[in-house]
Structure 1
Amino acid sequence: MTTRYYLTLPDSSRARGGDPALAFTAHSAEGFAEQLQDALRERTLFDRWRLMQPEPDEVDPALGATDPTAQVHGQQQDLHINLVVTSVIPGTVLKHRLRLLAGSHWELRDVTAA
């Protein structure tokens, strides 16, 4: 089932994960959207993170799910950025990718069927 996730980055300058090798590097709404979309469409971010784990082979493979048709749109609103994700990616996978990219500096505002 395709789901639409409504996200906010309240302070884009703080929307960085704990490890710079995995974190957002974007500065614009479009850049954040593009980087999140790539993280949902491809396994690159997940694979880098998995290889950093003490036991990479024990990582739940379900966290590596991808959606080649995922769409992410970003919009600047005053000081925060709104992102709308349309994807079949499960919420747990989306949240994991966001924690890698933005740390705890994001908010899930709403979830609807697409």
Structure 2
Amino acid sequence: MVCVAQDTCRGKAIEDPMLMKKVLELCDSKTEHLPGLLPFVPGMTVILTQNLAIELGLINGINGVFRQLVYEADSVSTDALSNTFPNNTQYVHRPLCELIEIARSKIECNLETL
């Protein structure tokens, strides 16, 4: 699964498929170092880059494990947006949230029960 950036131009979402593809192909150095396409693989390591809740242990630099991308069924496409990824890649537009397991946090929640 690859999460697609929600790019805007002059405050409005880019709707034109050709323009969207061109923007997604821009080098990260031209997009404030933000990727246009971000792959998510269950089990991959992630790192928080800012303090979210210090009292819960969700602090800058803590490691976690990506578990699941949550999204609406109609927000997925298989239209090839990049030659970098395999043909069976699913591109998720407007994900709702990502489930990240952070073992050293103070949150008492079991991801299996969500």
Give the structure-2-normalised TM-score. Answer: 0.24
The structure whose residues are more often helix, as a share, is 1
Higher relative contact order structure (alpha carbons within 8 Å, sequence separation ≥ 6): 1
TM-score (norm 1): 0.24
